[in-house]
Structure 1
C-alpha cells in the first residue's frame, strides 16, 4: 500500500463522522458531502506527518469549511424567503442503517435543525463542534478567530436558543408512532376534536412548500390552528405512509409514484409539539425514493 492509499484509508475511517458534523452545520446532505470532499482535498495537500489525532484535525477542517460555506451563503443572500425546513434524512419505518445511526446520534431531529438554521454561523459552529462533538473551545476559537472566552459565549448563546426553542422529544419510538398514528387517523377522518387532542396547545407547524407556493409556506401556531391546517390536506393524507424522519416517527407522502412530502414530528409527553413539513417539489425531486419503496 502506497502513501496515498494509506491516507485514503485513514480518511475513509472518519468519513461518516465528518459527514455527521457537516450535516449539523449545513442542514443539507449534498452540501455536507461537498464539505467532506473539500476536507479530503485539504488533507491530500497538507503535511500531516506530525498530526497525532487525525480525526480531530479533520473535524476542525470540516468545521472551517462549513463555516466558510455558511458565511458565503449569507453573503450571497441565499437564505430562502419564508419558512425553510432543512433537508431531512428519511429512512424506512423499520429502522436505520448503521451510517444513519451515526449521522443521527444525539437525536438530531428536524426541529433542532430548524433552530440551528436561525443561529449566526459562528454560533452554530461553536455549538455543534463543542456541545455535540466535544471539540475543546481552544480549537473552536482558532476556527472562528476569537478568544476561547468569546467562543464560550458564542456557544452559550446558541445553547440558550436551542434549549428555549427546540423541544426535547420523547425517546420512546413506539410511543411516538402511536401519537402520529392517532394524528394521521384523525386527519384522514376529518376529526377536528381528535386532532386537537393529540396536539400540544402550543404546537408549531412549519411548512416549506417552495418558492412557487407564495403565501402558503408559513409558521402556524396553536393546536386549533394546526388542526384546521391538517384538515385542509385530509385528502392528501390518504397517501401518507410511516417512515423514520431523522430517526424519529414521521410520514412520507407518495402520490402518482412521486414523493410529495416529508413530515417530521416532535412528540413530548404524549403530544405533538412540533411538525416540520418539506413539500418543495424541486427539493423533493432530488431525494432518493428507492429507500422507501424497495
Structure 2
C-alpha cells in the first residue's frame, strides 16, 4: 500500500478500535480485530470501495461478531468468568463521549448488561447509540432489514434500561465519592460502609483471576464485610502483589474508581456504579489478563496524590 492508503486507515483506527471495544468488552480483542481489518484493507480492491469508512465499519463489526459467536467466547461468558476490560479516563479506545448515550455505552455496567443481548442486538445497539448510524445504514452493515434494526434496537434498549444504574461523575465528585468509600472500608466499622450502599447494592469480582467463576455478593452487609476484609493489608497480600501499593482515585470507563498500583503497574481496580449519592454496584477487577492496557495508559498518565500512599 502507498503511504496515503495506510494513513487513511490509521486516521480511522481510533474509531474502529472504539467500536470493536464496545462490541467485545476487551481492549486486547479489539486491537486484534482492528489489525485483522487492516489486513483485509490491505488485500482489498480499494478502487471498488466507494466509502472506505462504511466498508471498514462493516468489516470490524462482522469480525467482532465472529468473535462473540466463537466457541471460546461462548464458553468463557457462559461459565460466568467474564468481565469487561477496564479503561482509564482519556484512553482513545473509549471513543466518542459527546452524548449521554455514548458515555453510557462504554461504562462497565452497560458492557456487562450487553452480555444479555444476542450478538446482533449488541451490534445494533452499539452502532445506533454510540455511533449514531441510521437504521438503514445499520441494515447494510449487518445485512438485515431496516425494520429488523429498529426491532433489535427496541429490545436492546429495554434490556439495558431495566438493569442500568443512573449516575456519572466528574473528577471532583469522583474523588469525593472514592475518598468516602475508602475511609469507610478502612475504618473497621462495616456500618459506615453499609450507609454508602443502596439497599439493593451488588458487588462482583474476578478474584484476581484465581477463581473459576466470578464472585458475586448481593446484600450491603455482605459487601461491606468482604470489602473491609479486602482492604486490610497483610504481609501475604503485599507479597502477592509484589510490594506496597498506593491507592489512587480515577475515572474508569466514566465511573469513579479506586486504582491500586505499584511503581510500575496497576494491580487492581474497584469501580463504583452510582445511583444518586449512593453506590449501587461495586466491580473489582484484579486479573492481570484484564489490566494490560490500563497499566500501559497508567504509566503514561500524570497522577494526583494518592489517597493512601502506602498500603
Q: TM-score range by the shorter chain?
A: 0.7 to 0.9
Match of 1:269 in 2: 276
How does 1:15-94 map onto structure 2 within 5 Å? 15-49=13-47, 51-73=49-71, 77-79=75-77, 81-90=79-88
Query: How many angstroms apart in 2 are the aligned matches of 1:78 and 1:233?
Result: 26
Choose from 165, 176, 179 the match for 1:178: 176
Q: What's the secondary structure of 1:77's corresponding residue?
A: helix
Assess if the C-alpha contact under 8 Å between 1:190 and 1:234 holds in 2. no
Choose from 195, 218, 221 the match for 2:218: 221
Q: Does 1:292 align with 2:298?
A: yes
Query: How many angstroms apart in 2 are the aligned matches of 1:266 and 1:40?
Result: 36
Match of 1:232 in 2: 229
TM-score (norm 2): 0.81
Assess if the C-alpha contact under 8 Å between 2:209 and 2:288 holds in 1. no
The structural deviation recorded for 1:233 is 0.9
Query: How many angstroms apart in 1 are the aligned matches of 2:74 and 2:165?
Result: 31
Assess if the C-alpha contact under 8 Å between 1:82 and 1:218 holds in 2. no
Match of 2:112 in 1: 114
Match of 2:305 in 1: none
Q: Does 1:14 align with 2:12?
A: yes
How does 1:234-249 map onto structure 2 within 5 Å? 234-236=231-233, 239-249=246-256
Assess if the C-alpha contact under 8 Å between 1:112 and 1:162 holds in 2. yes
Q: 1:166-189: CA deviations, max 9, x gaps?
A: 213234432232122101111011
Query: How many angstroms apart in 2 are the aligned matches of 1:75 and 1:30?
Result: 14
How does 1:121-136 map onto structure 2 within 5 Å? 121-136=119-134
Query: How many angstroms apart in 2 are the aligned matches of 1:290 and 1:22?
Result: 19
Assess if the C-alpha contact under 8 Å between 1:85 and 1:277 holds in 2. no
The structural deviation recorded for 1:235 is 1.0
Q: 1:251-289: CA deviations, max 9, x gaps?
A: 1223696643111112231111121111224444x4553
Q: 5+ residue gaps in structure 2? A: 235-244, 301-311
Q: What's the secondary structure of 1:14's corresponding residue?
A: helix
Which is worse superposed, 136-145 or 39-48?
136-145
Query: How many angstroms apart in 2 are the aligned matches of 1:46 and 1:291?
Result: 33
Choose from 143, 146, 149 the match for 2:144: 146
Q: Could you say if the C-alpha distance between residues 102 and 145 of structure 1 is closer, same or farther in structure 2, counting changes exceeding 3 Å?
A: closer
TM-score (norm 1): 0.85
Query: How many angstroms apart in 1 are the aligned matches of 2:74 and 2:93?
Result: 31
Assess if the C-alpha contact under 8 Å between 2:87 and 2:94 holds in 1. no
The structural deviation recorded for 1:246 is 1.6
The structural deviation recorded for 1:40 is 1.4
Q: Could you say if the C-alpha distance between residues 169 and 23 of structure 1 is closer, same or farther in structure 2, counting changes exceeding 3 Å?
A: same
Which is worse superposed, 265-274 or 132-141?
132-141
Query: How many angstroms apart in 2 are the aligned matches of 1:256 and 1:111?
Result: 29
Q: 1:83-110: CA deviations, max 9, x gaps?
A: 422111135xxxx26x256366622211
Query: How many angstroms apart in 1 are the aligned matches of 2:119 and 2:125?
Result: 10
Q: What's the secondary structure of 1:213's corresponding residue?
A: coil
Q: Could you say if the C-alpha distance between residues 222 and 85 of structure 1 is closer, same or farther in structure 2, counting changes exceeding 3 Å?
A: same
The structural deviation recorded for 1:293 is 5.0
Q: What's the secondary structure of 2:210's corresponding residue?
A: coil
Q: Could you say if the C-alpha distance between residues 9 and 282 of structure 1 is closer, same or farther in structure 2, counting changes exceeding 3 Å?
A: closer
Assess if the C-alpha contact under 8 Å between 1:90 and 1:245 holds in 2. yes
Match of 1:165 in 2: 163
Q: Could you say if the C-alpha distance between residues 75 and 248 of structure 1 is closer, same or farther in structure 2, counting changes exceeding 3 Å?
A: closer
